Structure 1
Amino acid sequence: MHSDAANFQLNSHLTTLASIHKIHHTLHRLNLTEDVGQDSHPSGNTAAACCSRAMPPRKKRRPSAGDDMSAKKSRQDSVYRKHETSQIREEETFSSKRCLEWFYEYAGCDDVVGPEGMEKFCEDIGVEPENVVMLVLAWKLDAQSMGYFTLQEWLRGMGSLQCDSTERLRNSLDYLRSVLNDSTSFKLIYRYAFDFARQSKYKVINKDQWCNVLEFSRTINLDLSNYDEDGAWPVLLDEFVEWYKERQMS
């Protein structure tokens, strides 16, 4: 007999298996990329034809006070535009300082974002903690502990994503989800998930079983209609299928 804690942990893993199975069958249907067509531009031949005409010579005249004011205003506008462009480029460029300040919004006085900070972080970016995109983000940051991001992991990972603010990360969520569409990345993330999750106090699944789950998700239909109970699947997956069918009937 399992203890209550072990049963709870097993149920949690079974729920995760259900999510993984469903995710695997739906990810390939996602199409998060868009084809952006090239803008068409006018050829400008008409303007060239107009400019090719010879213009009559103009008489020189002495600049008036109004001309001086216009020239001065034009120079001021030019300086302002250069300053404005510089500010825009600065905002578009990744800032380590801004990324560091962003980290401490969630870490407080520590050098690690813990569970409380992580909860606020997920709320700010509009993602549930159990959402698969958080696993992809943890993989990108190469986080070593579930529910924690260290300062070094944050700066290195967010730097690779070029995200130094909540808004930028929100804009990158579709990209993070699309990473799962790549079979190589999916396999790497899946393997990372095992090491990431095995820190749990209750070890109810080993690495061989974890790999079997991936094979199970690739070969078994979403409704489990082609699952062979007499096959060579591990007992854990037999328990999962039994649990899943009972859940569907209730």
Structure 2
Amino acid sequence: MAFSRQSSSFDAIDAANPIIARIRSITRREALALMHPGDHLLELNAGTGIDSFHFAAHGIHVLATDAAPGMIAQLKQKQRAHPELPVAVMECSYLHLDRLGERRFQRVFSNFGGLNCTPYLDRVLQGMDRLLLPGGTCTLVIMPRFSPWEVLGLLKGHFRSAFRRFNKGGTQAHLEGEHFTCHYYSPDQVRRQLGPQYELISLRALSLLTPPPHHDRFTTGYPSLYRSLDHWEERVAHRWPFRNWGDHFLITLRKR
């Protein structure tokens, strides 16, 4: 599986990318603003646990879940290296959250579009809802249908990639030689599927004006322009309609 193959190099790729660092900083700040030491957090598609151990260092009890055996191996290695941090690890697909039984959580977190790897977002959200306590919050980072940077590819003649997110059946993506289907969702879809028992706390765009992570050389090639785009993105990222767009959107909701 593609994500297992990438697991051994995942942290190095992540650490070397300033755009990923920016996105992680934003998502962590928003998630932590709602957390309290002692809270129990369920992380979906936790990867190698980069966010899991960050939250645990703030006193959050984390259950890090992932379906990729390679990612689980990396998580367990970090768990052994940091026994003082409250991180539990479980190999579990977010499509099978019933395996968590009677466990309950104050927080749910999912970063970097892991939820875009399934056509069954409704099943994931139903499973999450069962596990989230009343008053609890979920913070999700998901890829929407409209990405300005991809549409700009028209200027270079990249017609297929410019509109690939609008394909109803999803788009083929590849990683480490493996192909899989990526599905794109809107914030409205998330809200509709969770229903009126969830209150919107915040919604913002990520990489709306700033480039997405795979354009990381932009930060060193055009540093002044990157800083300017970052400044303007922060001014409009929470505003309608821009908050629905971007390479990803960050949405936080509270269960009533």
Please classify the TM superposition score into its range, dividing by the shorter chain length: under 0.3
Higher strand content, 1 or 2: 2
Q: TM-score scaled by structure 2?
A: 0.21
Q: Which structure's CA Rg is the greater one?
A: 1
Which has the bigger relative contact order, CA under 8 A and spacing at least 6?
Answer: 1
